[in-house]
Amino acid sequence: MTATPAASADEPTQSKRAQRFTYVGFDIEPESNRVVCRYRLDSASQSHDFSEVVAFPGGGDWTNPAVVEAARILFLLTGVSYYKAGAPPVVDLGETALTATELGFLKTFYLDGLGEFAYRNGIDLRDLEFVAGQLERTASAGYTPRRNSPLVPFGGGVDSIVSVEQIRPHTDDAALFVVTRPGDRFDAIEEPAAITGWPVVRAERSIDPVVLRSRELGFLNGHVPVTGIISAITVLAAVLEGRDAVVLSNEWSASSATLYDHGRPVNHQFSKSETFEAGFREVLAGALGDGLEYFSLLRALSEVWIAERFAEQPQYFDHFRSCNKAFLIDTTKRFDHWCGVCDKCAFIDLVLAPFVSKEDLQKIFAVAGEPLQKPELLDTFRRLLGFVPDAKPWECVGDVSESRVAARLAAARPDRADDDILQTLVTVARGYQDPAPEELLKPLSRHFVPERYQPEILKQHHE
């Protein structure tokens, strides 16, 4: 089914588009442990210069030749945050040297990574032209790290916690990685991070304040593929530390489209998808050699399998949070508990319900109340289960088939026999053909996890 864009008819967004976006350059400042990326947006009436600063307070080996390559990749991906302010039809890469492979990847990163932004703003980015002055570079940096020293981006939610516990038996030299604004800390990350017992490597990202005034300045606004940007920051942090792997926690269903626009998939989670992962791995191999592995530990695994594994880690129950209101920039509005009403709260409650007791989930959501006990959220769950066409939330939630299977499993639990919402959902779900639960408890797709880091389920499946 084809959806209709949500752009305003009063002021066509197409008329707001600038004329040209230029990659000006980047500077590596070892004395300050930071990289500064500079861009320019030109429109008919004015120009805006932007700079983003990414700092690494813990320092590292800035003399490693791979640092320049990692910083260049960071510069290429971070630009998308500033391009979107005017979404012009021309992206000028200036004097930035890159390979044909990198250029192809960057085009996909813009076109598909900004798919949601374009759809919701009523913009067609298929006319996007990249002007590349230098399509040749020297050989890779030949990065050589120490072995079995993974860096795990950590958000404090179910997925990253499961990754930590699955990879723990394979290394005694792992660290978590956290990106925030300078000086900021999120309790929803810090509390479960402390439970892991692992050291934390940090980066501080300072977005140009001009972009944060988008409404005031008449800029376009919307979703950017932030996981791709975080991935590039993590790669640079790993190189600075001499680590051999960046381990993401993106699951199988992150590759599922949120909706289809005239047959073209639009995926809120594009930079968590297999397509992004495969392309980024190719870019890193060309720039750094084969020394650094980039992969998602959970790529082949369902949210249902992940939830079952999380249920085996009760030490995190009182400390984890996936609710977006725990991560608001404005600290005066930031929640210190689950909000209990958003799509993410509802999905986490639903997918854990087959494996975590009702009593424990009610304790987890105690402040706001458990979503599955709120009749007013029935429509939220209907959207999660795909009962409403083209209405999957623009959120990091599972595939509709995963949600329906989770509902069936949860409704069969004795402690959920009287849950009206679950029983209502399961009645409707009978009209849908979904995988058997056991099918979602084994690998569902290819993955890129090297043998030394594979969870047991991947090793068994390979055998």
Distance in angstroms (rounded) separating the CA atoms of residues 105 and 80: 13
Distance in angstroms (rounded) separating the CA atoms of residues 198 and 192: 10
Q: How many residues does the chain have?
A: 463
Q: 55 is written with which tokens?
A: 């700092």
Domain ranges of the chain: 16-296, 313-441
pLDDT of the chain along its 463 residues, tens only? 445 454 443 344 566 789 999 999 999 999 999 999 999 999 988 899 999 999 999 999 999 999 999 999 999 999 999 999 999 999 999 999 899 999 999 999 999 999 999 999 999 998 899 998 777 766 677 899 999 999 999 999 999 999 999 999 999 999 999 999 998 998 999 999 999 999 999 999 999 999 888 878 889 999 999 999 999 999 999 999 999 999 999 999 999 988 888 888 999 999 999 999 999 999 999 999 999 999 999 999 999 999 999 999 999 999 999 898 888 877 788 888 999 999 999 999 999 999 999 999 999 999 899 999 999 999 999 999 999 887 788 888 989 999 999 999 999 999 999 999 999 999 999 989 999 999 999 999 999 999 999 999 998 865 4
Q: What are the backbone dihedrals phi and psi of residue 77, each rounded to the nearest 5 degrees, phi first?
A: -80, -35
Query: What's the pLDDT score for residue 14?
Result: 61
Distance in angstroms (rounded) separating the CA atoms of residues 355 and 301: 16
Asked if 94 contacts 25 with a C-beta cutoff of 8 angstroms, the reply is yes
Distance in angstroms (rounded) separating the CA atoms of residues 398 and 298: 13
**pTM for the full predicted model:** 0.93
Token pair 């494996």 is found at 355
Q: In this structure, what DSSP letter does residue 319 have?
A: T
Distance in angstroms (rounded) separating the CA atoms of residues 409 and 406: 5
Q: 115 is written with which tokens?
A: 């798919």
